[in-house]
A = this chain, B = another copy of it.
């Protein structure tokens, strides 16, 4: 979540388990419910639904239901959600650059 910005009464939960991953899955175009489940290995339909609803509520994604049988529902990043891709990349870059250091810090902390 977006912390450190003083008393923000309504924190955006980017720190939860799935939101960031979902944004990544949607950043290259719209995806259907079942298409999201594949890369998000291990997510259950219940949790995926909850996450998507929350993101929809916050204006990060849009949900479009195409009527018919079988049903087809498409999720897409809203502009607001897209604007998060940059910041996410920043964090990812940090992680990729510094993870080794963190790991070795942990090791030297252990053996001590």
Chain A interface (Cβ within 8 Å of chain B)?
A: 1-5, 8, 10, 12, 14-17, 20-21, 23-24, 56-59, 80, 83-84, 86-88, 90-92, 94-96, 98-99, 101-106, 109
Tell me the interface secondary structure of chain A in the complex. helix
**Integer count of this chain's copies in the complex:** 2
Q: By the criterion CB–CB under 8 Å, are B106 and A57 in contact?
A: yes
Q: How far is the CB of A109 from chain B (nearest CB, A)?
A: 5
Task: Take A15-B15, A90-B87, A90-B90 as given contacts and tell me if A2 and B95 are in contact as well, using a CB distance cutoff of 8 Å.
Answer: yes
CA distance A78 to B41 in the complex (A): 34
Q: For residue A78, which residue of chain B has the nearest CB?
A: B105
CA distance A99 to B92 in the complex (A): 22
Contacts of A92 in B (CB 8 A): 2, 4-5
Q: By the criterion CB–CB under 8 Å, are A24 and B4 in contact?
A: yes
Q: By the criterion CB–CB under 8 Å, are A15 and B12 in contact?
A: no
Q: How far is the CB of A76 from chain B (nearest CB, A)?
A: 15
Q: By the criterion CB–CB under 8 Å, are B10 and A102 in contact?
A: yes
